[in-house]
Structure 1
Amino acid sequence: MIQTSQSPTLDGLFQRVLTRQPDAPALLDPLNKQRITGLAPRRMTFAQADRAISALATHFIESGLPANSVIGIQLPNTVEFVLTVLAAHRAGLIVALLPQLWRQAELTMALNRTGARAIVTMARIDGVNHADLAMNAAAEAFSIRHVCGFGDDLPEGMASLDLAMSNGSATKRKVIHDGRKAAAVSFDVTADGFRPVPRTHLNLIAGGLAVFLESRLKQGATLMSAFAPSSFAGLTSSLVVWLLSAGTLSLHHPFDGEVLKRQIDDDCCDTLVTPAPMALRLAEIDSSARLPTLRHVIGLWRTPEQVASSAQWTSEAASFTDVYLFGEVGLFGARRTAEGTPVPIMPGAHGAPRDVPGTSSAVETLLTPKGTLALRGAMVPVPAYAPPPPAGDSLVSQPPQDYADTGYAARLDRATGAICITAPPAGIVSVGGYRFLSHDLQEWARRLGHGALLTALPDRLCGYRLAGRAQDHARGREALSQLGLNPLMVEAFRDRNILG
């Protein structure tokens, strides 16, 4: 590609590392990738990754995708995800992050809302035929012109990206490296409904810096990522932190505990990025003895209201950094005390590293008049969360809002002045990394007929878990699958004696 540099982009960061250490190890696949996808694990240097990225970028250009068009990506946490994101940026495209558990209904909505021109997927992931899912969703998204996939036995009409990588690169297109350009779109659910959240390269780099600096990672870190990449937090805590550290990124497809431990040991990983409840379990199994190479653990909290009451981190060999996630609005990190307890979060500018005077602000926290937590700063896409215009015919324009409301209920502690996050957003159910409006659950249950119930029950690890009841659970699951719904909803109707 012909590139003009104006401000940092993700591909620009990659190429800086490539120039310094082309033969250094860059990307390592999960050990069990063959089981997950049917493909053999890859281990790539920066030079090998660069050739694959250029080949994929060439394929996107020669397919006729114009610059600044959106390309949807639904891939597992494997090398192909990283290569595709960087290739899309090298071709001047914008990436739409599609969670792996999304099925046809959600895929179609996301592709239509973003006007995506292409979708990239894997033939099979964990036994699910994602190639067919992508083809069916593309048939209902009128903007889609190209459907691409990795793996074997792709359906007719789906271009093979494995073949594209083997063909090398020839076509060039002038691409301006401008960090102010749109780079990625993730998806959130707020009280106002489904919401695409676009971000620039600079937004993504700011999020990665917040995690990288607060956790005090060193250059050349070997980073193990066991967090699904299809969100702002997933992308920044893995791909962006890897580029900032100029080290090695080892990927684990969540979640197989024994494979994870073996992979950390085999790849000599010194840093682990994983959901915080899973990370805290490491302390219970004496991680310093079983995982002797670990020096940093980065725990991502999808339920930030639970941080203050979480268990103490007891490992002496590895530090622990809490990363508070607020849907797709933003995040901030706080490295734990020497005793392994969470630190108080004060309102105002939140620097990175937090306890080093004079550091630049990673994000700013504030309380809204509604008693909710709001964020602003370089990573926060404020326009994406702007409230809807007031009802009525008033011609008086509303003053611009310079923060994004997370919806999380919060208050100030009277004794310390610290922020206490007390509850998740009202009316929203969060199951792991997936959000639903609570009334949507009842709407789907009504489609199953009289007596059907779909509800959310509190869960310490995931925030909520779904449970369902119907006259015939098997027929209920089949009906929801045919509607193209997320398997979290489908499996809520598994057979059991009691609701729960």
Structure 2
Amino acid sequence: MIQTNASPTLDVLFKRILARKPNAPALLDPINKLRVTGQPPKRLTFAEADRAITALAAHFIESGLPSNSVIAVQLPNTVEFALTVLAAHRAGLVVALFPLLWRQAELTVALNRTGARAIVTSSRVDGVVHADLAMNAAAEAFSIRHVCGFGTDLPEGMASLDLAISNGSTTSRAVVQDGRKAAVISFDVTSDGFRPVPRTHLNLIAGGLALSLESDVPQGATIMSAFAPSSFAGLTSSLVIWLLSGGTLALHHPYDGDALEQQIVEHRCDTLVAPAQLALRLAEIDMASRLPTLRNVIGLWRAPEQVASSPPWIAQHAALTDVYLFGEAGLFGARRTAADGAPAAILPGPHSAPREVPGSSISGEIFLTPRGTLALRGPMISPSAYAPPPPSSDSLIAQPPRDYVDTDFAARLDRSTGAICITAPPSGIMAVGGYRFLSQDLQEWARRLGQGALLTALPDRLSGHRLAGRAQDNARAREALAELGLNPLMVEAFRDRASQP
């Protein structure tokens, strides 16, 4: 039973589309899903997706998960991810987004920090047995009561969600669909360390609206998402934009260039969501002839300081929107409209969605702090998650609440144009693609490998940084880091380069 409220949730948005066009295509799996997870690809209409969501929600309820409890989700970019998130919300649960590269060390910390009651994963993803990782992490998290997964060969004690869908239970409970309720928890790394960032449905919808309006995604769009969904940006740029447009969401598990191009052509996608560097590469392949249906490209920059120096956008038949990502703190987008394809100037102050239409709704505010860093304010931001610790003082006067988030990205104003120039990422934080580490953590893990071991982050144009390691015995170093349950980025930093081509 669902009780609706004036402020919508993601499930309410889904049900509105379902009522209008139940037999329209809703979710399309990657065409190479068999290689990624060992399961054949699915194509679901809204009615078929609704039945799967109802069955999954029933499974969570029947498993004894109380309303408002946290369920951790570590899944690839397939239809199961979207179904699980919507099912969790239908059951009144909060979703914790776990990146696929996390291993036992990160999983255990996040499970304990959020008090998660359940974890959902896939049996295998790209050859990695994620089911075993989830079981091992759950054994170290006292709050976990239920472990479940998609796929075959699940370990003993892990419930099959494919079986739950096929059984088709319709058990439900009264859930107030209020957009002000917590919806997801994502995870960031700041100078203060590992930080869970909760957001409401309204926060997510605000982020999706900012992106879809700025990039002019049409109603009924066929959207190709080639960006990992396990972050605020990944979720809003795919699942939320899809629900706002009422179209079709096609998914691509990053990254197979040939498969991506084939999917865009076969599904006649008009909108592409992808890492910005990938989008700029696609512009070099004569997109007009090879991807003729593409009209909107949403390029996500994990390293926003690189936007200003990026090459011009040369694909005239498709517009590019640069999306500036600041970890999990927030984002904003700016569509390229200049004749030369250069990035749009970012001016301080309130910004609207769409940016170029005077009087349109305010989607956020960008400004510089006295520290010379960029700060964000607006409906998608969660200031309390980034609030500084209270000062150690005997004063009984409470500090005023902060209504913005300091991203710690260094920035300045251009004297001639007044535009904001983002000059450097946060100090002491290393970003490798979408994964951020404290530099001191790298040094700590290297010390565990013994004398002479070195683990460092080197600048990289595409991913921000890349990891490099050196030890007396690289093979043993890899084994030791894997046994500690560390991220494979750290493990592979100690690969033997002499054998590389």
Q: TM-score, normalised by structure 2?
A: 0.98
Query: Who is 2:168 aligned against?
Result: 168
In 1: Cα distance, 2:139 partner to 2:78 partner: 26
Equivalent in the alignment of 2:477: 476
Show the 5 A alignment for 1:21-420. 21-339=21-339, 340-420=341-421
Indicate conservation of the 8 Å contact 1:276/1:322, yes or no.
Answer: yes
Alignment of 1:8 with 2:8, yes or no, is yes
Residues 435-482 of structure 1: per-residue CA shift (max 9 Å, x gap): 000000000000100000000000011000000000111100000000
CA distance in 1, matches of 2:322, 2:56: 36
State how far apart, in whole Å, the 1-side matches of 2:431 and 2:338 are. Answer: 31
Shift of 1:288: 1.5
Tell me, yes or no, if the aligned pair for 2:57 and 2:172 is still in contact at 8 Å. Answer: no
Question: 1:450 corresponds to which residue?
Answer: 451
Q: Deviation string for 1:23-64 (max 9, x for gaps)?
A: 000000000000100101000000000000000000000000
How many angstroms apart in 2 are the aligned matches of 1:386 and 1:481? 34
**What are the Cα deviations for residues 122-152 of structure 1, in whole angstroms up to 9, with x where unaligned?**
0000000000000000000000000000000
What is the alpha-carbon distance in structure 2 between the residues aligned to residue 408 and residue 4 of structure 1? 40
Over aligned residue pairs, what C-alpha RMSD do you find? 1.1
* SS of equivalent residue, structure 1 residue 262: helix
Alpha-carbon distance in structure 1 between the residues aligned to 2:220 and 2:338: 25
Which deviates the most, 283-292 or 217-226? 283-292
- 1:135 counterpart SS class: helix
CA contact (8 A) 1:470 1:476 kept: yes
Kept after mapping to 1: 8 A contact 2:2/2:177:
no
Q: CA deviation at 1:267?
A: 0.8
Contact 1:6 1:176 in 2 (8 A): no
Measured after TM superposition, the shift of residue 497 of structure 1 is 4.1
Moved more, 245-254 or 332-341: 332-341
How far 1:496 sits from its partner (Å)? 1.3
Is the contact between residue 321 and residue 336 of structure 2 (CA under 8 Å) also seen in structure 1? Answer: yes
Letter in 2 for 1:325: L
- SS of the residue aligned with 2:64? coil
Q: Report the alpha carbon displacement of residue 12 of structure 1 after superposing the two structures with TM.
A: 0.3
What SS is found at the alignment partner of 1:124?
A: coil
Counterpart Cα distance in 2 of 1:9 and 1:172: 17
Query: Distance between the aligned counterparts of 1:471 and 1:285, measured in 2?
Result: 44
Alignment length, in residue pairs?
499
Residues 4 and 337 (structure 1 numbering): CA distance in 2 closer, same or farther, change over 3 Å?
A: closer
Q: Which amino acid aligns with 1:72?
A: A
**Alignment deviations for residues 182-216 of structure 1 (CA, whole Å, 9 cap, x no partner):** 00000000000000000000000000001000000
Shift of 1:289: 1.7
Instruction: Output the CA distance in 2 between the equivalents of 1:225 and 1:126.
Output: 18
Structure-2 separation of matches of 1:395 and 1:431:
43
Q: TM-score, normalised by structure 1?
A: 0.99
Task: Give 2:391's aligned amino acid.
Answer: P
Task: Confirm or deny: 8 A CA contact 2:55 2:167 kept in the other structure.
Answer: yes
Q: Which runs of 5+ in 2 are unaligned?
A: none
Maintained 8 Å contact 2:470/2:494 = yes
Q: Structure 2: how far apart are the matches of 1:5 and 1:162?
A: 31
Deviates more, 1:349-358 or 1:329-338: 329-338
Q: Could you say what secondary structure the match of 2:497 adopts?
A: coil
Distance 1:47 1:74 in 2: 25
Q: Percent identity?
A: 76
Alpha-carbon separation, structure 2, partners of 1:61 and 1:223: 32
| Cα separation, 2, equivalents of 1:365 and 1:4 | 34
Q: Distance in 2 between matches of 1:131 and 1:394?
A: 50
What's the offset of the Cα at 1:293?
1.2
2:74, 2:100 within 8 Å by CA — same for their partners in 1? yes
| Residue 367 (structure 1) shift | 0.7
In the alignment, is the contact (CA less than 8 A) between 2:286 and 2:315 conserved in 1? Answer: yes
Question: Hey, what does 1:485 align to over in structure 2?
Answer: 486
Separation in 1, partners of 2:228, 2:446: 28
Equivalent position SS for 2:356: coil
CA distance in 2, matches of 1:375, 1:185: 19
Letter in structure 2 aligned against 1:489: M
Look up the equivalent residue of 1:459 and give its one-letter code. D
Is residue 215–residue 321 contact of structure 2 (8 Å, CA) maintained in 1? yes
Counterpart CA distance in 1 for 2:109 and 2:288 is 45
Indicate the SS of the match to 2:455: strand
Residues in 2 aligned to 1:4 and 1:217: alpha-carbon distance in whole angstroms: 27
Q: Following TM superposition, by how much is the alpha carbon of 1:286 offset from its aligned partner in structure 2, in angstroms? A: 1.5
Secondary structure in 1 matching 2:288: helix
Shift of 1:498: 11
What is the deviation of 1:73?
Answer: 0.1
SS of equivalent residue, structure 1 residue 18: helix
Contact 1:88–1:95 under 8 Å retained in 2: yes
Give the counterpart letter for 2:310 in structure 1: S
CA contact (8 A) 1:73 1:120 kept: yes
CA shift for structure 1 position 399: 2.0
Runs of 4+ in 1 over 6 A off after TM superposition: none
Structure 1 residue 172: Cα displacement: 1.7
Amino acid at match of 1:86: L
CA distance in 2, matches of 1:170, 1:51: 9
**Contact 1:301–1:325 (8 Å) recurs in 2:** yes
Q: 2:334·2:344 contact (CA, 8 Å) conserved in 1?
A: yes
C-alpha distance in 1, partners of 2:217/2:116? 36
CA apart distance, 1:392? 3.7
Deviation at 1:2, TM superposition (A): 3.0
Give the Cα separation in 2 of the matches to 1:393 and 1:154: 55
Q: Does 1:441 align with 2:442?
A: yes
